[in-house]
Amino acid sequence: MKVFIENEAGSNQKNLYNEKTLEYRKTVEVSRKYPYPYGFIIATTSGDGDNLDCFILTKQELKTGSIVECEPIGLMEQFEDGKEDHNVLATLKDESAEVNPEVKEKLTEFVSHVFDHRKGKMVKVGSFYNKEKAEEYIEKCRDENIVFSKEDFENFWPLTNVKIGKILQKSGERIVCEIFANEGLFVFKIADPSKTEEKIKLDTFVFDFLKAKSFQNIPILLKTKEGENYQNLDGKFVYVMERIDGKAPERTPENWARLGEIAAKLHDISDYPYKTLFTIESEMPKFAETAAKLSFTKEYMTLVESLPNFSGLSTSLIHTDIGPNNAVQRKDGVIVLTDWDDAGIGTTILDLGFPLICHFVTHELEFEKEKASAFYSAYFGKIKLSQSEKSLIFDAGLFFALMYIPYGETEKHWQRIKFAVKNKELISSVLI
């Protein structure tokens, strides 16, 4: 694998590059000196849209801007503001090294304190894994060829002088990527292959509907030249949206309160014409398939079977996964929700249950009560739910946590679920 060196060992200067074009952007100072040369693996995209990060365990002096051939020897879990941002550990191709306790201690100390100068920034190290796990992770993050050309977009959308930018998000064949054009900055989304044309119609209808409602927390969809919401390009459904000028919201109580207000505003819309295709009933049969692949099958299914009947509860227009991971905050502070797949009329408490365990219970098994209180207080200040429905929000959160257990680090997800069940009373206290 080829690694581009951004930062040199022994320096506290962090160089920032456009990781797809390798164009230098700027240099900032961080709170610790890099213990090893650090950069990113070319032709990869991790969950945050950037290339896969990499530390090279070598005593050689590797200069910023150089590209070196490396071999992976391990993987270090890292969580930045609660989001996965893992690092590959590698050696130069003609060298060898070991991820021993000294290396782990050095990397942990660096990662834990490199952003001490940024108030509220949370970076933590998780587990260390072997070469096989690293290779598996790299393979998962390798870029797939985006076969669309600038001409595809210029032919079908009202765009000129198109340049395709970096991949912002990738999950299998589902890709979100930048587009630069004379008309502005946009993103295009390649829908998951499982999406039928009927589902794409539903997924894109929400943009027009909420725009007509003056709902400012959703991107603007760019119509094709024929006035359509999407285009079929080589058998893939593609649509184009504005690129929001901003960044992912910091996970502060203030921003969680903003998200609570957005959820309330969305749920207050009463005349949406389509039901969501994401329902508890549609997901329940999948739990048995998941359980069969787990080492704790019986315990997992015991929790699945403990879930109550959610039928007959109030419904509204739901997003299905409201959180900072699916949002961009503009410079004026307004948060815009992204990833509107499966939005539609559904069980209201699904939107309220989603963050309760999946966000507010951390990988370190702590409950972020202040942030959770901010979200639910803001929501319940706008929308009133019966106490019986409030009492089921924890179960809705457990439903999501159980559903997401195959994604990411299964054992860590399971420990988080067990922590949540054990501390149900504490977690549910924010719902009163």
162: left (phi over 0), alpha (psi -120 to 50) or beta: beta
274-278's contacts with Cβ under 8 Å and 24+ in sequence apart are 274/202, 274/205, 274/344, 274/345, 275/344, 275/345, 275/346, 276/318, 276/320, 276/342, 276/343, 276/344, 276/345, 276/346, 277/199, 277/202, 277/342, 277/344, 278/320, 278/342, 278/344, 278/346, 278/350
Cβ–Cβ < 8 Å for 366, 403: no
Sorting pLDDT into bands at 50, 70 and 90, what band is 164? confident
The pLDDT tens digits for 321-344 are: 999 989 999 999 999 999 999 999
Q: Are residues 296 and 423 in the same domain?
A: yes
The answer, yes or no, to whether residue 116 has pLDDT greater than 90, is no
Q: Mean of the per-residue pLDDT values for the chain?
A: 92
For 344-359, the pLDDT digits (tens) are 999 999 999 999 999 9
Task: Give the separation between CA 20 and CA 57, rounded to whole angstroms.
Answer: 24
3-class DSSP state of 428: helix
State how many domains the chain has: 3
Provide the pLDDT for residue 155. 95
DSSP category for residue 149: -
Instruction: State mean pLDDT over 123-150.
Output: 82
pLDDT of residue 23: 87
pLDDT of residue 381: 97
State the pLDDT at residue 46: 79
Structure confidence at residue 47 as a pLDDT band (50, 70, 90): low
User: What CATH number did the domain enclosing 72 receive?
Assistant: 3.90.80.10
Domain end point (choices 243, 270, 301) = 243
Same domain flag for 414 and 299: yes
Mark whether 267 and 413 lie in a shared domain. yes
For residue 82, give its domain range: 2-141
Domain termination site, one of 217, 243, 269: 243
180-193: per-residue pLDDT in tens?
999 999 999 999 88
Are residue 258 and residue 386 in the same domain, yes or no?
yes
* In the chain, % of residues over pLDDT 90: 73
